[in-house]
A and B are shown apart, each in its own frame.
Chain A
Amino acid sequence: MEILYENVLQLSWQHVVMWLIGGILIYLAIKKEMEPTLLLPLGFGTLLVNLPLSGAINQVLADGSVQEGALSTLFEAGISNELFPLILFIGIGAMIDFSPILSNPKLMIFGGAAQFGIFLTLCLASMFFDINDAASIAIIGAADGPTSIVVAQKLQSKYLGAIMVAAYSYMALVPIIQPPVIKLLTTKKERLIRMPYAQRPVSKLTKILFPIIITLVAGIVAPASVSLIGFLMFGNLIRECGVLNSLSETAQKVLANLITIFLGITIASQMQAESFLRPETLLILGLGLVAFIFDTAGGVLFAKFLNLFMKQKINPMIGAAGISAFPMSGRVVHKMGLKEDPQNFLLMHSIGVNVSGQIASVIAGGLILNFFM
Chain B
Amino acid sequence: MKFNPMAFIDNLYYMLVGMAGILIVIGVIILITMFLNKATTPKNNS
Contacts and interface: CB of A to CB of B under 8 A. Distances in A.
Contact of A217 (B7, B12, B29): B29
Given A126-B8, A203-B42, A206-B36, A119 B25 contact: no
Contact of B33 (A102, A201, A205): A102
Nearest to A103: B37
Interface in B7-24: 7-8, 10-12, 14-15, 17-19, 21-23
A367 B26 contact: no
Contacts of B41: 201-203, 206
B14 A119 contact: yes
B13 to A, nearest CB: 9
Contacts of A371: 14, 17-18
Interface stretch (A8-16, A50-58, A207-215, A258-266): A207-215
B25 to A, nearest CB: 5
Contact of A128 (B3, B19, B33): B3
A109 interface: yes
A32 B45 CA distance: 54
Interface of A: 101-102, 105-106, 108-109, 111-113, 115-116, 118-120, 122-124, 126-129, 131, 134, 200-203, 205-206, 209-210, 213-214, 217-218, 221-222, 279-280, 283, 356, 359-360, 363-364, 367-368, 371
Interface of B: 1-5, 7-8, 10-12, 14-15, 17-19, 21-23, 25-30, 32-34, 36-37, 40-42
Contacts of A101: 33
Contacts of B18: 115, 118-119, 122, 364, 367-368, 371
A109 B32 contact: no
For the residues of B in contact with A, the DSSP-based class is helix
A128 B2 contact: yes
Contacts of A363: 21-22, 25-26
Nearest to B37: A206
Contacts of B22: 112, 115, 360, 363-364, 367
Given A112-B27, A115-B22, A363-B25, 5 more contacts: A109-B26, A202-B37, A210-B33, A221-B21, A280-B1
B30 A106 contact: yes
Given A123-B8, A203-B40, A112 B23 contact: yes
Contacts of B21: 221-222, 363, 367
B26 A360 contact: yes
Nearest to A101: B33
Nearest to B6: A127
Contacts of A124: 8
Nearest to B16: A119
A261 B7 CA distance: 38
Contact of B5 (A115, A127, A360): A127
Nearest to B10: A126
Contacts of B12: 123
23 contacts: A105-B29, A105-B33, A112-B23, A113-B23, A115-B22, A119-B18, A122-B15, A126-B7, A126-B10, A127-B7, A128-B3, A128-B4, A129-B2, A203-B37, A203-B42, A209-B36, A213-B32, A214-B29, A222-B25, A360-B26, A363-B26, A364-B18, A368-B18
A314 to B, nearest CB: 15
B36 A210 contact: yes
Given A221-B25, A363-B26, A206 B14 contact: no
A213 B39 CA distance: 14
B25 A218 contact: yes
Nearest to A214: B29
A205 B26 CA distance: 21
Given A127-B4, A128-B3, A359 B40 contact: no
